[in-house]
Structure 1
Amino acid sequence: MFNNLPPITKNIIIINIVVYIVTNFFLYALNRPELYYNLSAYYPFSPFFKSWQIITSMFMHSPISGGPGIMHIFFNMFVLYNFAFLENILGGKRFLILYFLSGIGAYALFNLWEFMQVEMFARQLEDLGFNVYDYFSGTNIQLKGSAESIESQKKFIGNIVKIISTPLMGASGAIFGVVAAFATIYPNAKLGILFIPFPIKAKYLLIFSVGLSLYLGYNGLDSGTAHFAHVGGALVGWILAKIWRKHLYRFN
């Protein structure tokens, strides 16, 4: 069954699995977590950020004993496997463009939201008399004010530190783009989804998934998941599919 996959999808799945095995081997067998840090993607203004992470993070997934564990990569690859036929419809070149641009769009929208959060916390700190930018540039700044004010400052600083030190990893943003592209080209196609006893039209599944991601991301629920990355990937997939759908007959 795996041999029948179109080549781009097959290679993407193989690379994800190989990277997962190698990074977990380094992490657990060799006790060398550097590979995980260097290949996952950080906030672009973080000292841990490297330009290549925007691409390599699409092949990184939660460590075996961390977060969702192996289910993270399993679920992502399972969804990609089930939508592999889209490569036959679009062609390998366009499918590859779709996948990677959706992943880049996921990183961009997620970090735009993170940037807005950092700016909000920075303004709140300024209102309390604390300049966070001087603090992170190495200037020795002491927390001042009442006990309540100092606790608030610590909280806001902690929120910023969490943003710049927590990596983004996973193929789900790119895969959301693939699913969104399919739902845009074939909006009335009915899909069978796990745990749902009846088929759902692709366009309704896309609207529900994006709407749920926006709600969860905006309200900070399920904070271990990069919901706005899903939205960013879906947005790019939708845009590309809208463009390509007009000329689908030319390369189908």
Structure 2
Amino acid sequence: MFNNIPPLTKNIIIINVVVYIVTNFILYAFNNIEFYYSLASYYPFSPFFKSWQIITSMFMHAPIGDGSGLMHIFFNMFMLYNFSFMENILGGKRYLLLYFLSGIGAYVLFNAWEFVQVEMFARQLESLGFNIYDYFSGENQALKGSAEEIASQNNLISNIIKIISTPLVGASGAIFGVLAAFATIFPNAKLMILFIPFPVKAKHLLIFTIVISIFLGYSDRGSDGGTAHLAHVGGALVGFLLARVWKNHINRFNQI
């Protein structure tokens, strides 16, 4: 079965699995959580952010002890395997472009929403007499006001700290780009989905998934629920746009 996977997809799966094994070994054998999360990606204005993390985070998944860790990487790799035929349809160069640009798109959209939230919380704090940016730059900022106002300020500060210190990991954004490209090129293809007793057209499944992801991303405030739903939307949006550009030339791909 593994021998039938196109070469680029096979290598991507191998890299994900090897990275997962090595990082978890380092994490638990040496109790080195700093190394593990140095490869995750962070909010771009976070002190933990490094530019390479936008790429390395695509090969990182929740650690084994996280509870969802093994299922996280298994589900992502299983989905990538099932749609690996897209590599043959698009050709290697376009497939890699689709994969990595979708992953970058996932990071950009997710953190654009995080930026909106940070600015919203910062303005609420400013209205209460607390400047979060001066606070982060080391300037002494005292909480002022009634007990209720101080509690509100502490809650807003905690929300901002959570955003800038929570890592983003996983290949889901890139994989959603591949799925969106498939649904765009083959919109009427029928898929069988777990728990749905009848085939669903790819275009309907894509629309439903995007709507649900936007709703969950907004209601969960980004990644509060443990899943970066808006990252999925970002990856899917890039996949859709690339597929729209490529769709009319699909028959020429394998000749280039």
Q: TM-score range by the shorter chain?
A: over 0.9
**Offset, 1:248:** 1.0
Secondary structure, counterpart of 1:48 in structure 2: coil
Aligned-partner Cα distance in 2 for 1:5–1:204: 27
- Corresponding residue for residue 23 of structure 1: 23
Q: What is the one-letter code of the residue matched to 1:56?
A: T
Q: Distance in 2 between matches of 1:35 and 1:71?
A: 22
Q: Deviations over 1:99-141 (max 9, x none)?
A: 0000000000000000000000000001111101100111011
- Following TM superposition, the consecutive aligned residue runs of length 4 or more in structure 1 with deviations greater than 3 angstroms are none
Which residue matches 2:86?
A: 86
What do the CA deviations read for 1:53-111 (whole angstroms, capped 9, x no partner)?
Answer: 00000000000011412000000000000000010000011000000000000000000
**TM-score after normalising by structure 2:** 0.97
Question: CA separation of 1:159/1:67 partners in 2, compared to 1, >3 Å: closer, same or farther?
Answer: farther
Are 1:247 and 2:254 an aligned pair? Answer: no
Map 1:97-246 onto structure 2 (within 5 A): 97-220=97-220, 223-246=225-248
Question: TM-score if structure 1 supplies the norm length?
Answer: 0.98
Q: CA shift at 1:30, angstroms?
A: 1.4
1:238 partner amino acid: F
Distance of 1:67 and 1:96 partners within structure 2:
31
Aligned partner of 1:36 in structure 2 is: 36
- The structure-2 alpha-carbon separation of the partners of 1:67 and 1:134, relative to structure 1 and needing over 3 Å to count, comes to farther
What is the identity, as a one-letter code, of the residue corresponding to 1:32? Answer: N
Q: Any gaps of 5 or more consecutive residues in structure 1?
A: none
Superposed CA RMSD:
0.9
Uncovered stretches (5+) of structure 2, i.e. residues with no partner:
none
Distance 2:142 2:119 in 1: 20
Q: Give distance in 2, aligned partners of 1:26 and 1:159.
A: 30
Mapped to 1, the partners of 2:246 and 2:74 lie a distance apart of 30
Identity across the alignment (%): 76
Deviation of 1:192 (Å): 1.1
The 1-side partners of 2:109 and 2:96 are apart by 20
